[in-house]
Structure 1
Amino acid sequence: VRSDLQREIDFAAEIGQRYIVIPIIAASERDTDDYKRHAETLNRAGEMTQAAGIKMAYHNHGFEFERAGNRAHYDILLEETAPELVDFELDLFWIANAGVDPMPYLDGHPGRFSMLHVKDRDQFGRMTSVGSGTINFAEIFSQADTAGFKHFFIEHDNPGDGFASIARSIYTVRNVQF
């Protein structure tokens, strides 16, 4: 984003991509002032992507939920980016692994979460097939309209049997009652 965003925008437009997602922040750039700069960078990038009909977005991990004073670093990104310029891809495994309830984020920032990274977590903090762990998908999915969910990405980083894991996960997502 900081080095050659226009090239990325051109490529995204060429292949019909609707989002450019920042997947992670470098470990050396994770203090409070860094997050404020990242929010500014995301807004500037969002202005450029918007001009091309593409939306800028950010994907979380667990470290963004570390607290800095009275708020988490993730809060800085949400509160200091413009909703019309920057969306978020909420990764359910990582927010749960950080010990954070996603519901206040979904309720408190309507329309900001166009993408949902659907992953599950067992009671020991390991990834597991969706529906096999501790995450309450019915509660989360019930906020789809408020949160702005448009795209769901099912993932399990290290399944024993990938086909069985994706089958279970897809079944759960299709059949969850809310």
Structure 2
Amino acid sequence: MRLIKKLALATVVAGSLLNGSPLMASPGADSKIALQMYTLRNVGTLDQQFLMARNAGFTAVELVGDQGVSSAELNRLLAQYNLSVTSAHVQLDALRSQMAQTIAFNQAIGNKVLVVPYLQPADRPTDAAGWKRLGKELNALGSTLRKSGLQLAYHNHDFEMKTFRGKTGFELLVDATRAENLALEIDAAWVFRGGQDPVRLIQRYADRLFALHAKDNSGIGLRDDEMNFAPVGEGLLAWDEIVSAAQQRARPVYVVEHDLPKDADAIIRASKLSLERELAQAWRGRKLD
């Protein structure tokens, strides 16, 4: 995969932001761009966070657990800002020990997809057999959720990209599950940081790709105070190739995220504009085929 975005693209995106003009009106009829609310966790109250998301043009969000409020309050705020829910990040411990409560809450807010977002160090396998065992556990959890009309998905970081005799921990985990019991939310930036090619994983697991987390890597020495993450299109990843691969078969939800933004509003707007441009190009390319 080409690792460096063309300078011309970055210039176009930056120029559009400076001029305050959008690059396009719509990313394509079959595509949705959502915002991961973890990005805004340091922005005031939940009310203020939803307002920022809506003002930036988002109509859908991915939640972090219960967002610290009751289902009734969450429903009220979502309705107030006309936001839909694509999914919710739910810790593995909650699925293990609070399954009934987790199901009830998500049913109450109309959410259908629960994503395991992160493995605590104690839960991270250290060998191939461990990754397979974890896959089997997630498969069972996903089967249980399906009986309640919910879908389980898994979100990667970099540690799943370690290889064991040619297969990553991520692949070992996924291959130990059934497609109907575990969907995928691939984080391209973390895949790249783990030394793997996000395009390859997207193509391999296109039938499972529910969502694609969208942020970029800036490289060491740049944005060090933001965990070296950047808005989509302003870093090292070739988002034209990533989006093209995703749109060929999966057409996932694109979830804008940044782990430690200094200016959250500017970053989510920049990422959304860049994604819209890439999706428009992919849409035009597909119509010309």
For residues 124-173 of structure 1, the C-alpha deviation after alignment (integer angstroms, 9 at most, x for no partner) is 28101111001111111112345524321101122232222122111101
Moved more, 70-79 or 144-153: 144-153
Partner amino acid for 1:21? V
CA distance in 2, matches of 1:4, 1:122: 38
**Counterpart-to-counterpart distance in 1, 2:179 and 2:100:** 21
How much has 1:61 moved relative to structure 2? Answer: 0.4
Tell me what 1:11 maps to: 105
Aligned-residue offset at 1:3? 1.5
Identify which range, 104-113 or 140-149, moves more after superposition.
140-149
| Counterpart in the other structure of 1:31 | 126
**CA 1:161–1:110 in structure 2 vs 1: closer, same or farther (change >3 Å)?**
closer
Residue in structure 2 matched with residue 135 of structure 1 by the alignment = 237
CA distance in 2, matches of 1:173, 1:145: 12
Amino acid at match of 1:142: S
How many aligned residue pairs are there? Answer: 178
Instruction: Tell which has more relative contact order, 1 or 2 (C-alpha 8 A, sep 6+).
Output: 2
- 8 Å contact kept, 1:112–1:147: no
In the TM superposition, residue 46 of structure 1 has moved relative to its aligned partner by 1.0
Change (3 A) 1:147 1:25: farther
TM-score, normalised with respect to structure 1: 0.92
Residue 175 (structure 2) pairs with residue 73 (structure 1)? no
Structure 1, unaligned runs of 5 or more: none
Task: Write the deviation string for residues 8-46 of structure 1: whole angstroms up to 9, x where unpaired.
Answer: 112211111111111111212322233222111111111
Deviation digits for residues 72-92 of structure 1 (CA, Å, limit 9, x no counterpart): 100111211110111011111
- Paired residues for 1:82-121 under 5 Å: 82-121=178-217
8 Å contact kept, 2:159–2:194 = yes
Q: Which has the higher helix share?
A: 2
Instruction: Identify the match of residue 252 of structure 2 among 142, 146, 150.
Output: 150
Sequence identity, in percent? 29
For the residue of structure 2 that corresponds to 1:58, the secondary structure is strand
* Worse-superposed segment, 142-151 or 154-163: 142-151
Is it true that 1:61 corresponds to 2:157 in the alignment?
yes
- Which stretch of the first structure deviates more once superposed, 157-166 or 68-77? 157-166
Choose 1 or 2 for highest CA Rg.
2
1:174: which partner in 2? Answer: 276
The one-letter code sitting in structure 1 at the alignment partner of 2:231 is: S
Aligned-partner SS, 2:149: coil
RMSD: 1.6
Q: Tell me the secondary structure at the aligned position of residue 61 of structure 1.
A: coil
In the superposition, relative to structure 1, how do residues 146 and 39 fare at CA in structure 2: closer, same or farther (>3 Å)? farther
Query: Could you say what secondary structure the match of 1:44 adopts?
Result: helix
**3-state DSSP class of the match of 2:96?**
coil
Structure 2: give runs of 5+ residues left out of the alignment: 1-94, 221-226, 283-289
Work out the CA distance in 2 between the residues paired with 1:5 and 1:34.
23
> Structure 1 residues 108-117 or 56-65, which shifts more?
108-117
Q: Measure the CA separation in 1 of the matches of 2:264 and 2:276.
A: 18
**Corresponding residue number in structure 2 for 1:22:** 116
Calculate the TM-score normalised by the size of structure 2. Answer: 0.58
SS at match of 2:202: helix
